């Protein structure tokens, strides 16, 4: 493990410069498994929000699809416009709800990055989300987190579009110690 001498971020990967502050001076610490970091950096932990942003782009595609379906059905069934319009509007509303949920998740993890407890070096497994697109299952990360009472809680990440199981042997967990349902899992949180 590497610790940035400037911002004190703890990093698992080898970096030329600190991805958090740009500093180039590191001290090394032996990595012995799970490491708990209680005090977040001044500007909060850096979190990879790429998966949420990709989901928002997908939501825009669903909204666009709903508009196209609505227009096509409205043209095809012009005298009976009400029934086909409902189908297109339902697709549009579903896309808007999906987009808003992902925007809410981005705000949630940004708040969590400023007050959460970071646990580095957790063992994990990659599991299917159950969603299949073009013959390929989307994946997520599953960990078993042992809370302060010693109870083991299974936690699942959001859908990961870029899982690289060869690059990292462990994952990091950012969790709200007061609310175990508020957490974020990724390969490197710093």
Quote the pLDDT of residue 183. Answer: 95
pLDDT (tens digit, 9 = 90+) per residue, 41-70? 888 898 888 888 988 999 999 999 999 988
Low-confidence stretches of the chain (pLDDT < 70) are: 31-33, 78-84, 161-162, 164-165
Q: What global pTM score does this model have?
A: 0.79
- Report the distance separating Cα 123 and Cα 113, nearest Å: 21
- Of the candidates 114, 134, 127, the residue with the CA atom closest to the CA atom of residue 155: 127
Q: What is the pLDDT of residue 132?
A: 72
3-state helix, strand, coil in the chain (%, to 5): 35, 30, 35
Number of Cβ within a 10 Å radius of residue 51:
19
Residue 134 gets the label, from left (phi > 0), alpha (psi -120 to 50) or beta, of: left
pLDDT value, residue 136? 79
The DSSP line for 64-113 is HHHHHHHHHHHHHTGGG-HHHHHHHHHHHHHHHHHHHHHHHHHHHHHHHH
């Amino acid at each position: 493990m590497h610790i940035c001498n400037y911002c004190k971020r703890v990093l698992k990967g080898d970096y030329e410069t600190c991805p958090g502050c740009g500093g180039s001076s590191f001290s090394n610490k032996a990595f012995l498994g799970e490491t708990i970091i209680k005090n977040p950096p001044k500007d909060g932990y850096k979190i990879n929000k790429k998966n949420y942003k990709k989901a928002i782009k997908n939501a825009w595609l669903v909204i666009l699809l709903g508009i196209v379906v609505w227009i096509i059905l409205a043209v095809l069934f012009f005298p009976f416009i009400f029934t086909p319009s409902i189908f297109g509007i339902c697709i549009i509303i579903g896309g808007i709800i999906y987009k808003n949920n992902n925007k809410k998740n981005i705000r949630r993890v940004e708040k969590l990055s400023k007050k959460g407890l970071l646990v580095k070096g957790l063992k994990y497994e990659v599991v299917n989300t159950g969603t299949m697109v073009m013959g390929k299952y989307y994946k997520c990360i599953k960990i078993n987190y042992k809370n302060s009472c010693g109870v083991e809680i299974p936690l699942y990440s959001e859908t990961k579009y870029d899982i690289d199981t060869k690059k990292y042997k462990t994952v990091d967990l950012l969790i709200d110690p007061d609310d175990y349902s508020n957490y974020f899992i990724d390969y490197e949180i710093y």
